[in-house]
Amino acid sequence: MHQAKVTLDPAFTVAPVRRRTFGTFVEHLGRCVYTGIYEPDHPTADDDGFRGDVLGLTRELGVSTVRYPGGNFVSGYRWEDGIGPVERRPRRLDLAWHSTETNEVGVDEFVRWCRKAGVEPMMAVNLGTRGIAEALDLLEYCNHPSGTTLSDLRVANGSKEPHGIRMWCLGNEMDGPWQTGHKTPREYGRLAAETARALRMVDPKLELVACGSSSSSMPTFGTWEAEVLAETYDLVDYISCHAYYEEKDGDLGSFLACSTDMEYFISSVVATADHVGARLKSRKKIDISFDEWNVWYLSRFHDTGTPEDWPVAPPLLEDHYHLADAVAFGGLLITLLRNSDRVSAASLAQLVNVIAPIMTEPGGRAWRQTTFHPFAQASRFATGDVLRVEPDSPAYETKAYGEVPLLHAVATHDAEGTTLFAVNRSTGGPLSLEIDARALGGVRVVEATTLTDADVYARNTADDPTRIAPRPNPDVEAGPLRVLLPPVSWNVIRLA
């Protein structure tokens, strides 16, 4: 049996836990909005048409922020289409997802949904087909109290109080040739800088996110960040990262270690940002908003082709996640937490139906996918400070990343106790984990749960929604503290 060890010491911290790490993403894509968060005819729908079952699961998931309305969708979006009387709103072709957008849900409905869900709205502006003037108009509509044409229009549309949106994304994936209005880094950097400067003339306290690379595999990766930040460094607070992972060609070992690539992505962007800052002689530090991340079987999407018609809210990107997906997903969460000193915001893409932890049936049931559980547990139990944890673990060889530790872990600590989040990547057997907690005093394990199954490809379904769920781990020893982690598992160990 493999042996591993971690040492927990509250004297060695990374940063405070960032609540915005537990953000998600709602895009007008597939069934994320329509029959996802919004379905007026659903039995659980409230007076605003929002599904009560999805609202309940969103609260249970522990979501902190929600990025909206895209994604690729935002680069062709006219925000004015989604305000005012619903019956008068135009229907538009959505080029990003080859769909018809009805605009039944727009900014006012989204903010109303956020208030009900108890989450912070995060808004993206269209810098693909639009620009500075439209971004300023949206800001005035959303955040100015009253007394101007656009703020009074918001009041007339039923939102008397300002929406108070603090975090704004300056476009989306502008490095991607698939993006409507794709730009070179120089073109985008100038537009983002001028948009940021104008937005700050309205409200200097806004938090602004410049578009970084949509993948670390992009040919412009690194160069893009350097050129964009050279234009925007003193005007923005964040640079974004986007990354998706999937199991390829049956290579489960590499897939379970995909957080290795995320770690590389983060460290590379931090190094680039700090180099630009040094060159500009600035003491400011740019943080990362990892505002798209998930397990996504992108290869399946590319195999489906483009439909001949323009459907409304078609089923798109509805990946059904299994246990191995959830374990890889948990590893990504651990990596985000381990880098909390620079990753201070993140958005799981997406919330409902579209590569999502929550699935729904139109008119019917909603249930938790396997990936729901690591996110919900991390959001609930990650409190206080992130501890610097350097696991002592045996390694295994992967095709994609070389030698990788079997154990991936992080811990958080506050006055109430300490929580260790750990992934066993081993496909061959359990991992005996010794926890050196002497620096914490006389603590004991008060709860240990594991997410695992004999079948690593087992899924949750509407008919069997609890097949994969956290269950008590009985293999806990008191002295020395030792927990047996099953193969291919996500584990949460709480000490007090």
pLDDT tens digits, one per residue of 239-261 = 999 999 999 999 999 999 999 99
The mean pLDDT value of the chain amounts to 97
Residues sharing a CB contact under 8 Å with residue 222, sequence separation 6 or more, in sequence order:
213, 268, 272
Count Cβ atoms below 10 Å from residue 6 Cβ, excluding itself. 23
pLDDT at 300: 85
Count Cβ atoms below 10 Å from residue 394 Cβ, excluding itself. 12
Count Cβ atoms below 10 Å from residue 110 Cβ, excluding itself. 23
pLDDT at 365: 98
Q: Is 231 left (phi over 0), alpha (psi -120 to 50) or beta?
A: alpha
Distance CA 180, CA 202 (A): 27
Question: Is 173 a residue of the active site?
Answer: yes
Distance from the first to the final alpha carbon of the chain:
28
pTM of the predicted structure, to 2 decimals: 0.97
Burial class (CB in 10 A: 0-12, 13-18, 19+), 9: middle
Question: Is 416 a residue of the active site?
Answer: no
269-316 pLDDT, tens digit per residue, is 999 999 999 999 999 999 999 999 999 999 887 666 677 799 999 999
Residue of 140, 227, 231, 292 with catalytic role: 292
pLDDT at 305: 67
pLDDT at 480: 87
Chunked in runs of 10, what are the mean pLDDT values of the chain (496 residues)? 96 98 98 98 98 98 98 98 97 97 98 98 98 98 98 98 98 98 98 98 98 97 98 98 97 98 98 98 97 94 75 96 98 98 98 98 98 98 97 97 98 97 96 96 95 98 98 92 97 97
Enter the tokens of residue 171: 């476009």
Residue type, 86: V
Residue of 173, 207, 225, 247 with catalytic role: 173
pLDDT at 308: 77
